[in-house]
Structure 1
Amino acid sequence: MATQKMLGFVHTDQRMPEKREAEIRRQDFNEIYARFTDKGAVEQANRCSQCGVPFCQVHCPVSNNIPDWLKLTAEGRLEEAYELSQATNNLPEICGRICPQDRLCEGNCTIEQSTHGTVTIGAVEKYITDTAFDKGWVKPIVPRIEREQSVAIIGAGPAGLAAADQLRKKGYQVHVYDRYDRVGGLLMYGIPGFKLEKDVVIRRWKLLEEGGVKFHLGVEIGRNTDMRTLRAQHDAVLIATGVYKARDLGGPGSGLDGIVPALDYLTASNRKSLGDTVLDFETGKLNAKGKKVVVIGGGDTAMDCVRTAIRQGAMSVKCVYRRDRKNMPGSQRETANAEEEGVEFVWQTAPEGFTGDAHVTGVKAFKMHMGVADATGRQTPMPIEGSNFTMDADLVIKALGFDPEDIPTLFGVPELKVSRWGTVQVKYATMMTNLDGVFAAGDIVRGASLVVWGIKDGRDAAVGIHNYIQAKIAQGVAVAAE
């Protein structure tokens, strides 16, 4: 009978886990979706069509075995489902929460294309892993052998954590260096709690520590130590710093007080939620309470900012984006959640400057129309003459994306090769840079991207590092034999 527990989409409608009402959830930073009940998870996993070519898996950066763990969930074989889920993904409980599934697995689900409504893959993934933690199935790493070789990982974000997990499983002595005081990078300080509660990140951090990964926090490469020292102390080094330099927006008045970068704003909010004292929040500089807020940008970071401002008690929140809704890069699901919570979207609008004396009082903008498509097929926004207007604003948040910091200079290795965009160059077959034994992964290689791509790169880098170290050992053995 168990083998018949699929194809439920023909009689069962799509249903997400219970979502808190907008008026309630905008009062706090708790996650907005509940976990599936056991019955709900089985029912929704049962909707999978088990298609011969699983487009959900094809469009997952880490190639999760989605149809298989959906089938196991539908059959009540939950521990097996967890084992299969974590086999390809080092942070499944996080991806289940924050991946833009509507652009990846769920957006390419076969039954979604046939208008039956996608399988709620992300919510089932979250259910599987959270249940596994509750049941005690998630265990600290216990390597089969302990190796004396050590690896330094710079950055405790998704790419660094995935690589650390993989390398520790192989028995390497793994040391993770991060300039922040907590593990997680953007998972901890960039993504708000209503998408990812911080206990989830801390739980994974502590699990890695119990498995023997050593974290060195508050260590900034170039200030507390440098790359040459790390290379001397370890058999390989992985650069997984991410990209943190905010893209700027010029124009008249762009230097006024009250115009702030998105990451500064989100970090202050997350630190406040974690119980830290944040001076810029206390003074109101990075606090939206009682203010008219304008967020510039249309990506996932912009959605995080507008929804944070709502929860801080802003008087009004507007999101300004130069293209229309269908051309925005952010998750449509997050946009819908923001609208429910009271955010006003000002589509096809571009800022050209700011008003105010010392502090910003308004955003000067003009309307755009969608022109012809460019080489990528995306329509190019064009200004409409005479459409200028001004929006009132007490706080303007720039969510325009991120660029790499100057890694060769910061790390004291000017010989490290970077691209014309400043990203670290690697050979993708090995993930190694032009420096022997120095690897790179995640956003610092590919530019600002998704958490799941960071995990993919971290896993690939771990393979490259393992092969590199083993080749060095074999080479040393061969030389000794001579």
Structure 2
Amino acid sequence: MSAKMLSFVSVPQAQPPKRLADDRRKDFDEIYNEFSPEQAATQASRCSQCGVPFCSIHCPLGNNIPDWLMLAADGRLEEAYSVSQATNSFPEICGRICPQDRLCEGNCVIEKDFDSVTIGAVERYITDTAFENGWVKPVLPVVELESSVGVIGAGPAGLAAAERLRASGHQVHVYDRHDRVGGLLIYGIPGFKLEKDIVLRRQKVLEEQGVIFHLGKGIGAGEGEIAFEDLRKKHDAVLVATGVYKSREIGGPGSGLGGIVRALDYLTASNRRSLGDVLPEGELDAAGKDVVVIGGGDTAMDCVRTAIRQGAKSVKCLYRRDKANMPGSVREVKNAEEEGVEFVWLAAPESFLGDTTVTGVRAQKMRLGLPDGSGRQSIEAEPEGLFTVQADMVIKALGFDPEPLPEMWKADELKTSRWGTLQVDRVSFETSVPGVFAAGDIVRGASLVVWAIRDGRDAAAQIDQWIAARSSSLAAE
């Protein structure tokens, strides 16, 4: 073991320098500055190199975190990147947007008494350094195969699968209805968490690897779309990795008023502006408005922090439980509070006020009760607890459900669960349609990017085996 490790007893935890909130509110740049080489090595050296690495166990990708922390502490960054990318297709993305406080860092064995190792920040530093020094190379196949795989969806699950399948030698074609690669990485996550050039440089690596992208190509029966059956005929296997894009709605009086918008529509418009797209002036723009965001997850945090940067007059977040029971990242809530977001805890919207456009949210004060079936405390209304929050823009950030793919694609043979997700064999990832596989949120339901990467990699391995077995069977006939 490196003599530089186990320094947690003498070296305090330190995150990369964070820009001041007043500066952050003015732009969509990432809020954390880079570690210096000395800072990265020092923070990596805090790792205890424990016998049972709970950080790795609680990482969906099973990343060999203690190994690359030790290499980073020794200054062996190229080797550290090699170990990191062996289990993670996009470590530069996970280092930025993973909720480390709930995963690796939250389960670090030194967390209780010494504060966890800053795993995410070191991961980001290692990969950014690798890109700067040209160490990030496309994983080219040893043997080119004649088989081809069509991947539907250029989000994290689809991209991770494409990278693995191409490395195995298959010809890989990725189809996406949007005009850019990345899915929610591009259009759903704001630049202050993930600057878009980070996604674009990874796209370039995939293209150098030989992955072929077909953008603006939706699947379905509409004009300009590719029929699902035609896609199946073009490829030996198909992977469905569309994610979940159907926003959950909220009812109640006034829910159809103007000025009440869906979170994904709002974030997509903001990201398009950041990317240089021209949108109608004022469309889905919070500038000068009293904004209320309904929800308590990471998407809600993205919305409130975006509204602050757009110059909203005020930004409030209504959540029906308290701070301790909020599903969003604790780190993101803290960043939002620093930037001027006001949280209204234990508040559930009852109705929306206004004639044609929303002017306010009528909310009900709530209180916590006994734990429910999920283990979280249940909620109940406070007697005479109605109050009004002024708003001329309301953003619904209530989560996402699957789109009805069998109906959209005229593929009734695709079986779905009662939640609308695609049914797959849990080992092979194969759907009810032979040769069609599925991975990511369209199977799992709305989840984390790191889980989508894991599912994409695992599905790619199963598709590779399926094609090999099918080729052997055909050859034997």
Global fold match (TM > 0.5): yes
- Give the conservation status (yes or no) of the 8 Å contact 1:141–1:211: yes
What pairs up with 1:72-111 in 2 under 5 angstroms? 72-111=71-110
In structure 1, the residue matched to 2:433 is 435
User: Aligned pair count?
Assistant: 474
Q: Deviations over 1:77-111 (max 9, x none)?
A: 11110000000000100000000000000000000
Question: Which amino acid in 1 is paired with 2:411?
Answer: V
Q: Deviations over 1:185-216 (max 9, x none)?
A: 00000000000000000000111011100000
In structure 2, the residue matched to 1:267 is 268
Aligned to 2:359, the other structure's residue is in SS state strand
Aligned to 2:349, the other structure's residue is in SS state strand
Give the TM-score, by structure 2 length: 0.99
Shift >6 Å, 4+ stretches? none
Q: Structure 1: how far apart are the matches of 2:449 and 2:415? A: 24
In structure 1, the residue matched to 2:126 is 128
- Give the conservation status (yes or no) of the 8 Å contact 1:368–1:382: yes
Q: Structure 2: how far apart are the matches of 1:25 and 1:467? A: 48
**How far did 1:129 drift?**
0.3
In structure 1, the residue matched to 2:302 is 304
Q: Structure 2: how far apart are the matches of 1:154 and 1:415? A: 17
In structure 2, the residue matched to 1:351 is 349
What pairs up with 1:148-297 in 2 under 5 angstroms? 148-222=146-220, 223=222, 224-279=225-280, 282=281, 284-297=282-295
Aligned to 1:3, the other structure's residue is in SS state coil
- Give the conservation status (yes or no) of the 8 Å contact 1:258–1:285: no
In structure 2, the residue matched to 1:67 is 66
In structure 2, the residue matched to 1:397 is 395
Question: Which amino acid in 1 is paired with 2:23?
Answer: I
- Give the conservation status (yes or no) of the 8 Å contact 1:320–1:349: yes
In structure 1, the residue matched to 2:462 is 464
**How far did 1:285 drift?**
3.6
**How far did 1:3 drift?**
1.9
Q: Structure 2: how far apart are the matches of 1:131 and 1:285? A: 38
- Give the conservation status (yes or no) of the 8 Å contact 1:141–1:212: no
Q: Structure 2: how far apart are the matches of 1:393 and 1:207? A: 45
- Give the conservation status (yes or no) of the 8 Å contact 1:141–1:210: no
Q: Deviations over 1:279-320 (max 9, x none)?
A: 2xx1x2400000000000000000000000000000000000
Q: Structure 2: how far apart are the matches of 1:146 and 1:314? A: 54
- Give the conservation status (yes or no) of the 8 Å contact 1:157–1:187: yes
In structure 1, the residue matched to 2:364 is 366
Q: Deviations over 1:97-152 (max 9, x none)?
A: 00000000000000003x20110000000000000000100012321110010000
Unaligned runs of 5+ in 2: none
Q: Deviations over 1:41-95 (max 9, x none)?
A: 0000000011111110000000000001001101111111000000000010000
Q: Structure 1: how far apart are the matches of 2:203 and 2:292? A: 35
Q: Structure 2: how far apart are the matches of 1:339 and 1:71? A: 35
Q: Structure 1: how far apart are the matches of 2:330 and 2:460? A: 33
In structure 2, the residue matched to 1:313 is 311
**How far did 1:465 drift?**
0.4
**How far did 1:354 drift?**
0.3
**How far did 1:270 drift?**
0.1
Aligned to 1:101, the other structure's residue is in SS state coil
Question: Which amino acid in 2 is paired with 1:217?
Answer: L
Q: Structure 2: how far apart are the matches of 1:3 and 1:50? A: 10
Q: Structure 2: how far apart are the matches of 1:319 and 1:138? A: 40
Aligned to 1:4, the other structure's residue is in SS state coil
**How far did 1:249 drift?**
0.3
Q: Structure 2: how far apart are the matches of 1:388 and 1:430? A: 51
Give the TM-score, by structure 1 length: 0.98
**How far did 1:376 drift?**
2.3
Q: Percent identity?
A: 67
**How far did 1:166 drift?**
0.2
Unaligned runs of 5+ in 1: none
Question: Which amino acid in 2 is paired with 1:70?
Answer: L
In structure 2, the residue matched to 1:49 is 48
